[in-house]
Amino acid sequence: LEEDEEFSYYDFLNVMLGRKRFKVTLYLYDISNGAAEKLAWLLLGHHFRGIWHSGVVVEWPERSSEFWFGGRIFESVPGTTPFGVPMEKVPLGYTYKPREEAWRYAAQTLSQEFTRDRYDVLTHNCNHFSDAFMLFLKNDHIPEEVLKQPELVMSTVTARLLRPALNHWLGGFDEQDGRSTDGSGAESRELWEAVLPGCRIHFCQSEGRRPFIGEVRNKGREACLVYSFDIDGTLSTRRVPRSLVVKVLKNPPPGFVEEPLLEAERLDLENREVAAIPPIIKKSGSDCGPVCAWPF
């Protein structure tokens, strides 16, 4: 531990489970190349040290990676993005997420939301991606002054006139060195197509939480019903939105027959407004259904 560093109960549990932690830093790039500090008050009516593009850097033993959004989600070597040298590096603590888990979450879950078509310099930009990714890494936000800056900047007539050009530039990056999504959300669509009744999946109960294992009972357009065990060993049926499916672990067994839905379950499966995953139906351990054939 570093001097005066706080060590939470969450940290204690991760250390006791043998998990290693990795340093997280927010890289801030001034896309105005210094003009903001000199001219922002005159043109925008506010003083800014820079107009920030951000990337989240995680230092893993095998390599350090910078994750950023520019129409695609990119994983680059830190400091090698098209934005040059970061003006500031803001320490954000530590994460216990390994590299492949972090990339999988970005490519399969966040790529549904952060696409080229949805990029907007005001409402859906690189800083919003950094914030969403940080919630996954350590359940914390990036500094508010970075996240809220576009609202201040775009409130002026000058910035609003530049909005289409900024969207085209900042949301239109093509492939760079390293990994990237294709900007269309194809990875998440392929994952959802692989989710079939009877398959075993990793899913999260909310954004950024550690995944659980369950068996898909039924599948709708935007969610599926999943058998999974609670901590007390009770088998529950849960509605899992497609955005919270992390990975398909095993295909359906041969001859698997999809169970008919009760009316309440059908309505719940079609309800796209439900964000959390509360248990829908509880079953006793002696009536576990096909999921008990697969050890968790």
Please list the active-site residues: 53, 126
Q: Can you list the pairs that 254-258 forms with residues at least 24 positions away whose Cβ atoms lie under 8 Å? A: 256/197, 256/198, 256/290, 258/197, 258/198, 258/217, 258/218
156 burial via Cβ count (<10 Å: 0-12, 13-18, 19+) = middle
For the chain, what is the radius of gyration of the CA atoms? 22
Token couple for 226: 């999943």
- Residue 71 φ/ψ, nearest 5 degrees: 95, -35
Beta strands at 235-241 and 179-180: parallel, antiparallel or unpaired? unpaired
> Rounded CA gap, 135 and 247, in Å?
19
Question: What is the token pair recorded at 186?
Answer: 């194809």
Contact 75, 66 (CB under 8 A): yes
CA triple 149-154-157, angle to 5 deg? 145
Q: What are phi and psi of 253, to 5 degrees?
A: -65, 155
- The residues, ordered by sequence, that sit 6+ positions from 123 with a Cβ below 8 Å of its Cβ are 150
